[in-house]
Amino acid sequence: MYYGYGRGLGYGMGFDPMYILVIIMAILCMVASARVSSVYRKYARTRSMSGLTGAQTAMEILRRNGITDVGIAHVSGELTDHYDPKSRMVCLSDSTYGSNSIAAVSVAAHECGHVLQHYTGYVPIRIRSAIVPAANIGSKAGIPIIILGMFLSFSPLITIGIWVFSLAVLFQLVTLPVEFNASHRALIMLEEYGILGHEETDITKKVLSAAAMTYVASAASAVLQLLRLVLLNNRRR
């Protein structure tokens, strides 16, 4: 009985059932990011009742929390909003900075949520900041090390590659509580400070949960990829 060829197909880096799952997850990531753009665009046309812009919202939230050493910057691009803890800048994109839409106000409040996480010493964001350098190495070098290990048929190198890659996966996982918590803080502050009305925060929930789904999809995709690498490596041995 000869089954060597079938084995090679099933156990190599080529076709395997997990690979189909990885592809499905990659598609889900694309769907999630297309959805956040469409939800954002939809509510970017709905003006908030208070009329505050994204930048004014951020200013108001920082003021209310007594934060005086964080600035607000206008950055180019769409949905490129972020908080940069190094320069202490809330960076708001073209569609957020000067817009008074509910979508813009929601995103600005979310970024301020990240500011407050840093200020209150929120543990997951501290862990995330600490592993950024390792995660960067992991996402760049992990897969190339694994491929090199397979090319040289040197198992220890593959194992090292998997460990390095798992740092990038860990980063994606720690990102989840950080993002959910920033959105949660945003919702509470927008209502408490009277920046948005109760009905308006329903839209905030929609916008921010669509954004959160992109993080969930990419974390799930990364976990799946890691799992597949571990299984393939175990089968090789």
Q: Which amino acids are annotated catalytic?
A: 111
- Residue 10 to residue 13: CA distance in whole angstroms: 8
CB of 109 to Zn ion, least distance (A): 11
Cβ at position 211, least distance to Zn ion in Å: 7
Number of residues that bind Zn ion (CB under 5 A): 2
Cβ neighbours of residue 90 closer than 8 Å, sequence gap 6 or more: 58, 62, 70, 71, 72, 73, 83, 108, 111, 112, 115
List the structure tokens of 33: 């990011």
User: Pattern 103-132, binding to Zn ion, x per CB under 5 A?
Assistant: ------------------------------
What is the DSSP track for 47-63? Answer: B-SS---HHHHHHHHHH
Q: Please say which residue, 90 or 226, places its beta carbon nearer to Zn ion.
A: 90
Least Å from the CB of residue 167 to Zn ion: 20
Give the residue carrying structure tokens 């408490």.
192
Which has the closest alpha carbon to 211: 41, 87, 21, 13?
41
Judged by CB, which is closer to Zn ion: 50, or 106? 106
Q: Which is nearer to Zn ion, 179 or 200 (CB)?
A: 179
Nearer to Zn ion among residue 19 and residue 215 (C-beta): 215
Distance CA 172, CA 192 (A): 31
Torsion angles phi and psi, residue 90, rounded to 5: -85, 110
What is the spatial distance between Cα 180 and Cα 192, in angstroms, rounded to a whole number? 18
Nearer to Zn ion, 60 or 179 (CB): 179
CA-nearest of 39, 19, 92, 23 to 214 is: 39
Q: Which amino acid is at 45?
A: R
In angstroms, what is the minimal distance from the CB of 134 to Zn ion? 20
Q: How far is the CB of 179 from Zn ion (least distance, A)?
A: 5
Residues 171-210 contacting Zn ion, CB under 5 A: 179, 182
Binding site for Zn ion (CB under 5 A): 179, 182
